[in-house]
Amino acid sequence: MKTTRLLLVSALSLGLFAASCSSDDNEGETIIPLQGKYNLRQTGTIGPDGKEVLVDATANQSGCSVDYLELKLSNAAVYGDYNGSNCALVETTGTYVRSHNDLTLTIGGVTTTSDIMNLTNKELKIKDKTTGVITVFSR
């Protein structure tokens, strides 16, 4: 009787494990929501050795708040740029579209398409498909 119960429990456990693995496949896409406000942190490229070379974002003016990208639920995008001696904020609006792991931003009439390299609750890392420039934002 013990052997029968053990076999039954083992078979059920294996069946649940196998079923959960196949139904959770998301084809490599992240399931973290894209919407949010992201602070510009780093930019860079892939070096000749295949490794990322990232530096602090030069677009962020010293002494000012960091520039940001805000992606809204309505697919509106806002790029905030703090600049000048008084750190004046200039916001440029546009739109964004996500298709799988591609992010297309149209801000100020300029359209760029990037690969989403990493998207977590704390970071958005994108790589421009045309220039290869990597941009890292944090939430």
| Beta strands per DSSP E along the chain | 36-46, 52-56, 68-71, 76-83, 88-99, 102-107, 110-119, 123-128, 134-138
Per-residue pLDDT of the chain (139 residues; tens, 9 = 90+): 444 454 444 444 444 444 444 444 444 555 678 999 999 999 999 999 999 999 999 999 999 999 999 999 999 999 999 999 999 999 999 999 999 999 999 999 999 999 999 999 999 999 999 999 999 999 9
Report yes or no on whether pTM surpasses 0.95.
no
State residue 20's pLDDT score.
Answer: 45
Q: CB within 8 A of 54, min separation 6: which ones?
A: 42, 43, 44, 134, 136
Q: Are 91 and 80 in contact (CB under 8 A)?
A: yes
Give the C-alpha separation, 138 to 126, whole Å. Answer: 12
